Structure 1
């Protein structure tokens, strides 16, 4: 019998402690005190698929796509596939009406295998070789982003008929000579149709004044192109993530606030230059998948070290920027009711100084399952490797699990060894 059996009224109070700013929206405690996502107990997933394992809530991903489309009804929303470049997620977001932002040939192959209409692809050709540009041009992407004279030359040489392109500019676009040179070069290419500008606003910025200033600079650049080249550019693609929910440090701009900031800045800048309002495309990645994902780890050891700290080691190795924050860590297999401690969480091959400081139950012990929230973006989070290679990715929805990516094996690694 569990504590929840003795005190069933505690169930709703416990569920509220799982802050959906960090956890998937369908994260709760079950009657046994275990954390569930999409009505599946995370401990059951760890037992079935092993650890570490990435868990992604399909409904949560779809909910965030719908939130973007609702709050920006007149904008195009393009999922930045680099955040979680797997076929199932690409299929989910396109089914929800999003376009796809592609930054590599592997992401392009995944999108095409998922059945994405090439016209809904924004292809970033930054640092692509001539051979890669030629392969990419063959698909007929809806828009291609270029950032340099070399990139423009590659795309132009690879394009047989006509290709819509956007110039990648920096936030201080008005003062960027490289952007000016790229614009002039694109205008001169008869097979390139310059339609707009692409600018990365930055991730999780709370500086609305900076966002407004950047948009004003972009419209200034649009007006400059009109005056110097007689070309009216009709599109602005704004990269960078804005969370539907707050980020761990509380600094993200909520989507309604971002929408108001963009609208007001566009209205003001376009009125100043008497410029027709351009169509806006937003390109979120992390904001779509990060809080929809959880990583499961099984505790390997709990050790007190000489300076009074407790080091908790889990299966898997840290494969992220050491400065990447861990949003929330919770015990997945039971609801703790006793005291907590501050511990250093490390991968099984890490040194203590490589760990991150988290709060855990004081009685945590080997064999238990920890869940790290906010881990849907594979570029961040606590750990994304196993002792062999990459862990599996499992989707949950309506009480069901679906393995999207299987665990990498020794055989996979040996098959790539050419010697």
Structure 2
């Protein structure tokens, strides 16, 4: 189907094989079986949809574990070559559940959290508190007390006022709390404005030129142990140069602090990017790790400093490519526009299970998952069921022209920030998360039901909750 639309992403071209799976977008286990169905973790999409329904978050456990292990080994190898050690934290904000916490810790990673809820999940999953880092630009006093009482390995101080708050909490608990100071290096990623978190006009961290002053204040508290500086330059970064430049700037402040007393470590954050479309080409994590470590070594040599212990906090690059979301197609609509037409493919989820397209203009890919097709590729926009014009799942993708109601669609690279940002917009229940591995599947986060949503509404009569249902049964008053 031809299109004269002017807003097609520049990197999107009609595929030679509309059924093909671009390798960098999918878990390594993904393939099509003899019937043409998408298979992930040894289970086909139709079987998963029949068993668990759609929308459905599917996470390939082996992919997540493999990426965690590969990331740790990449940084450990680069650090060893530089004569230092490294700690790799999993950034829980990408997607946190008890199962995922156990996967990454069993692969040797520590865990980074940023709220009391995330801390509770990590502790509940059995993480050694000493291997937890606690972030957040506005930690409540209760959250700080909880983190100190739990014995977390490090609290990242994000503002001047937090120095006193964390020091007081540690003193009350009779502990010496290890802390880092988050600073803004002035380097930010070449990415969406809302994802660039190291430029000066933002809510995170303190200005780099105050590092020495605030570091001295931290050291003035007997209840605090100063580990070093922390910086996060943004998200979805494909190469090492931005990290290298940020490290160079941080090392100047690190050197000033080291003149007064040893500074044992430097935390350079995370933000390593992944491929969401065929146009994306992130560097291998091994190359990024070597590039960053080379810059740190050069900066330390220039300033006559020992290479500090390093820390990093990847999240998306570990869990993102492990996730695939399954949807069922509902309606197809062709809308005349710009001298051509826009083909809308509506699915049974949307911005309540993937808000990133609406929030960041994020680009995704999609493939027919329940079968293959010999039809020509048709430029399509995959949209959700919500009462919102911005409810877009995949802005532009070539799907078979015969895609129709009842077909399953799969959207890859949805393991990060999709469940984490999910909502009940339009009173749509959040989908379950199912882990797949070697032909077995298990629910790791229970999906919600309409009854779950109604149970929280204290303005409803109990009988309305007891009899709520969908379809004709609700009209007839039949109990659910």
TM-score by length of 2: 0.79
Residue 268 of structure 2 aligns to a residue in which SS?
strand
Q: What displacement does 1:282 show?
A: 1.3
Which residue of structure 1 lines up, in the alignment, with residue 217 of structure 2? 185
1:139 maps onto 2:150 in alignment: yes
Distance 2:24 2:387 in 1: 29
Tell me if the contact between 1:125 and 1:144 (Cα under 8 Å) persists in the aligned partners.
no
Distance 2:390 2:60 in 1: 32
Which residue of structure 1 lines up, in the alignment, with residue 175 of structure 2? 161
Q: Structure 1 residues 147 and 381 mapped into 2: Cα distance closer, same or farther (>3 Å)?
A: closer
1:338 maps onto 2:370 in alignment: no
Which residue of structure 2 lines up, in the alignment, with residue 391 of structure 1? 431
Tell me if the contact between 2:183 and 2:229 (Cα under 8 Å) persists in the aligned partners.
yes
Q: Structure 1 residues 382 and 363 mapped into 2: Cα distance closer, same or farther (>3 Å)?
A: farther
Residue 21 of structure 1 aligns to a residue in which SS?
helix
1:260 maps onto 2:290 in alignment: yes
Residue 245 of structure 2 aligns to a residue in which SS?
helix
Q: What displacement does 1:214 show?
A: 1.0
Q: Structure 1 residues 17 and 336 mapped into 2: Cα distance closer, same or farther (>3 Å)?
A: same
Mean alpha-carbon deviation: is it higher for 156-165 or for 15-24?
A: 15-24
Distance 2:288 2:266 in 1: 15
Aligned pair partner of 2:407 in 368, 375, 380: 368
Q: Structure 1 residues 382 and 32 mapped into 2: Cα distance closer, same or farther (>3 Å)?
A: farther
Which residue of structure 1 lines up, in the alignment, with residue 115 of structure 2? 104
Q: Structure 1 residues 56 and 29 mapped into 2: Cα distance closer, same or farther (>3 Å)?
A: same
Q: Structure 1 residues 16 and 269 mapped into 2: Cα distance closer, same or farther (>3 Å)?
A: farther
Distance 2:422 2:450 in 1: 19
1:291 maps onto 2:318 in alignment: no
Aligned pair partner of 2:89 in 56, 61, 78: 78
Tell me if the contact between 2:93 and 2:420 (Cα under 8 Å) persists in the aligned partners.
no
Tell me if the contact between 2:364 and 2:412 (Cα under 8 Å) persists in the aligned partners.
yes
Tell me if the contact between 2:330 and 2:348 (Cα under 8 Å) persists in the aligned partners.
yes
Number of residues of Structure 1 aligned to a counterpart in Structure 2: 404
Structure 1 unmatched runs, 5+: 1-12
Mean alpha-carbon deviation: is it higher for 178-187 or for 82-91?
A: 178-187
Which residue of structure 1 lines up, in the alignment, with residue 457 of structure 2? 417
1:23 maps onto 2:23 in alignment: no
Distance 2:424 2:438 in 1: 28
Q: Structure 1 residues 109 and 381 mapped into 2: Cα distance closer, same or farther (>3 Å)?
A: closer
Q: Structure 1 residues 353 and 145 mapped into 2: Cα distance closer, same or farther (>3 Å)?
A: closer
Q: Structure 1 residues 390 and 55 mapped into 2: Cα distance closer, same or farther (>3 Å)?
A: same
Which residue of structure 2 lines up, in the alignment, with residue 348 of structure 1? 385
Q: What displacement does 1:237 show?
A: 1.4
Residue 83 of structure 1 aligns to a residue in which SS?
coil
**Aligned 1:166-315 pairs, distance under 5 A:** 166-172=180-186, 176-206=208-238, 208-227=240-259, 230-243=260-273, 246=275, 248=277, 249-307=279-337, 308-315=341-348
Tell me if the contact between 1:324 and 1:381 (Cα under 8 Å) persists in the aligned partners.
no
Q: Structure 1 residues 379 and 368 mapped into 2: Cα distance closer, same or farther (>3 Å)?
A: closer
Tell me if the contact between 1:327 and 1:372 (Cα under 8 Å) persists in the aligned partners.
yes
Distance 1:189 1:206 in 2: 39
Q: Structure 1 residues 213 and 380 mapped into 2: Cα distance closer, same or farther (>3 Å)?
A: farther
Q: Structure 1 residues 69 and 56 mapped into 2: Cα distance closer, same or farther (>3 Å)?
A: same
Tell me if the contact between 2:71 and 2:286 (Cα under 8 Å) persists in the aligned partners.
no
Q: What displacement does 1:281 show?
A: 1.2
Which residue of structure 2 lines up, in the alignment, with residue 325 of structure 1? 362
Distance 1:380 1:34 in 2: 24
Structure 2 unmatched runs, 5+: 1-15, 77-84, 188-205, 460-480
Tell me if the contact between 1:148 and 1:178 (Cα under 8 Å) persists in the aligned partners.
no
Distance 2:164 2:155 in 1: 13
Q: What displacement does 1:204 show?
A: 2.8
Distance 2:388 2:235 in 1: 30
Aligned pair partner of 1:359 in 360, 379, 398: 398
Q: Structure 1 residues 378 and 176 mapped into 2: Cα distance closer, same or farther (>3 Å)?
A: closer
Distance 1:182 1:197 in 2: 11
Q: What displacement does 1:412 show?
A: 1.8
Q: What displacement does 1:343 show?
A: 1.1
Distance 1:235 1:180 in 2: 15
Distance 1:368 1:15 in 2: 15
Mean alpha-carbon deviation: is it higher for 349-358 or for 195-204?
A: 349-358
